Structure 1
Amino acid sequence: MRVKIKHHRHRNARWLVRALGLPFRLFPKEFAGWADDTITHMGVHSTTHIDAPWHYGPKLSDGGDPAAIHEMPLDLCFGPGIKFDMRHKADGEEITVDDMESSLKSSGAILEERAIAVIQTGRDRFQGSKEYWKRGTGMSAGATEWLIDRGVSVMGIDQWGWDLPFHHQIRKSKATNDATIFWQGHLVGRRKPYWQMEQLRGLDQLPSHGFDIAVFPLRIRNASAAPARVVGYLY
């Protein structure tokens, strides 16, 4: 999932302009050609991004069609932020409803309807390392549904994925012979559609509440997700 970018130096554009008909003698002295860059490899889940309900399955549980990322309502892209501190959770230990309620009580925050909730795990410190996708806690189905039932439609986390890292999900599924464990947080979105950000950074710079969040995803038609610039605004 590494992003690859190819940089094109300024002088490359000179020949394009010449081919379009402008003689070299008429080039402005300051014109060395324009710089350009090409993204040669990038998945929509490769960077800080937001998932659409379409990512969770081809149909909703009630048979309806899940929304793709270009169908995300703009009024959901900005709202009051609330941060849940889950840095105490160990790798492979999932986040429960009790954890969410305890964090909310400790912070004194009020979970408003249409709030944008972010989960701080501290695993953003591994971003850029080979350990990144292996490290982290993860939101349980119960904790995810708890947010949705309280009016939260947009939520995010500062680790590689919303659920436990894959190897922990697989280990727990096999150990318990339980077919409901794998991807449980995501799959809540088939019953109760929601929008989910992954690979956030910098949540340590935000208080538990008293700020707004804006989410700016690329509008990619029919995509399961989109790279996003996610910004917190302190009051």
Structure 2
Amino acid sequence: MSVVRGGKSILNAVSLSLSPHELVGLVGPNGAGKSTLLSGLAGLIRLDSGQVSLKGKPIESYSGSDRAKLLGWMEQLASAHWPVSAEHLVLLGRIPYLSRWQSVSKTDRQLVAEMMRATDCYGLKDQAVSTLSGGELNRVLLARVLASEPSVLLADEPTAALDIGHQLQTMELLREFCTKGRGCIVVLHDLSLAARYCDRLVLLHEAQVVANGAPLDVLSERNVHDVYGVELAVFDGEVPTLVPMRRSL
């Protein structure tokens, strides 16, 4: 796919695939095109060339409700401007499964409670989402997208604004999501988290894919130097650890 805005190339002939059971991380510096790529995959923006297919069919061929059942979307640093409760916001994830006059069922509410407990936000269920911190809201939004039970989940920086404990919890939930035959593409800035949890990484720079493959192959010292301008130390133990040492001159 290619995206051009105001005469500037935002994505230049980028191709990406996702298989069942796969957790794919999009990494790269600010302005590389990660969020634009994710929005394009979700069918939320106009493409200047290219096409997105979901289960072998063009994404635009699906009805809104069918697309919402198959494709879960968690946007970056979302804000809430309405005083609904956290539980109500998560319940919105069940809307695609309801007929026009149908109300949420006991089973829907049980699933919502389960997802809120999994994301450690059940204690916030009665709070207005407009009063939540950024990290709390991110956990509620993750619960909502998980409650929608999609086949594919697209998450733009789901670990943003989270403390380290909730960052690990979020990545473990996404990893678990993929073990059930589903797939996830996630934008990440923490390279150690990306290397630890993702099956595959796609490194973007200046609107193009510069590397696509196994995490430690993509995050080689050479690639990180060329793309981020940083010297990196990689400790390839049981848990891969990447430590930025200094900016390159």
TM-score when normalising by structure 1: 0.28
Q: Which has the higher helix share?
A: 2
Q: TM-score, normalised by structure 2?
A: 0.27
